[in-house]
Structure 1
Amino acid sequence: MIISVHYLWYPFVSRIAVFFCVLLLAAPVLADAPAASATTLPTTAQLTAKLTEVQAATGLDETVKASLIEQYRRAQSNLEDINNFNAKAADFTESLKTAPPATALLLKQLKNAPAPTAVDPTLAQLTAADINQRLSQVLADVAQQETNLSEFEKQINSSVERPAQCGCV
């Protein structure tokens, strides 16, 4: 059975269109979101400096030192997560700008897509017996090719072992 490309792309394109519509509806809400808090976050360099300072400190108790090192490393990890989140938020904002034209283009292509093609009439007229006969023929051909392959592999193995048998190697 031949399936038209039109029917394969339609669910995909319609889901993308719904996704972009939701993005467009969410844009005003996201634009009104409060900015980052007024407190400034430490930089990676500052956290690294504090971490090396704690590691080099000799007057600290080992449990306090280990706790501070763990907290500074966790803070570094959180800072990386914040940077990754900000990058993803910027990508999302950019996609809000580019989504409507892209969606319109996809919808236009979908409307201009050719109509589905009909099934080949000769294939539609095949009976179950004809299909089974063709399948049996194909399976017999596959079995013959597998037999040929095993014979070739035997020949290769015997030619590889031949120099060892005569003591030449």
Structure 2
Amino acid sequence: MSTLKPEISNQDHIQGADSAAISIVEFGDYQCPHCGDAHPIMKEIEDVFGSQIKFVFRNFPLQSSHELALPAAIAAEAAAMQGKFWEMHDALFENQYRLSEALFDELAETIDLDLDKFQKDSLLKELTEKIENDFESGVRSGVNGTPSFYVNGTKFDGGATDLYQMLKESAE
């Protein structure tokens, strides 16, 4: 049984209440079509289960097959430097069909980031290190593809739809 390593910490991007009974960690890649398909389902899970859920996203860019996965992850981390990780996260998935280097600046402006700061922050070594740490965490946790989900620290065997179904059944 694969478990999450390391556990959720303040190094993570977390949405939801600390007191939530259920924590979901997604290892994802912004260019991965399966992650793109999972995104609206994850948003729905958050809407439906609200404060019962704590949602964490860790970067797992599959660079060999997705050349924009790392630059997209860097864009999300650069947005995080201005407190807007989740806004950029959502915007990247919602615009996945037109992912490009030029799109990152456009999205930064759309979510009201300071564009100069965003561009400078995108070059910071710390952002690449954060993404590498997320990736390494995925490798150590047994991630073998994206998206991969961990529920309360244990690898969930299935996709976002299966996860939603399991949560609905356990809530009944």
TM-score by length of 1: 0.22
For the pair shown, the structure with the greater C-alpha radius of gyration is: 1
User: If each structure's strand is expressed as a fraction of its own residues, which one has the higher value?
Assistant: 2
User: If each structure's helix is expressed as a fraction of its own residues, which one has the higher value?
Assistant: 1
- Report which structure shows greater RCO (CA 8 Å, sep ≥6): 1
TM-score by length of 2: 0.21
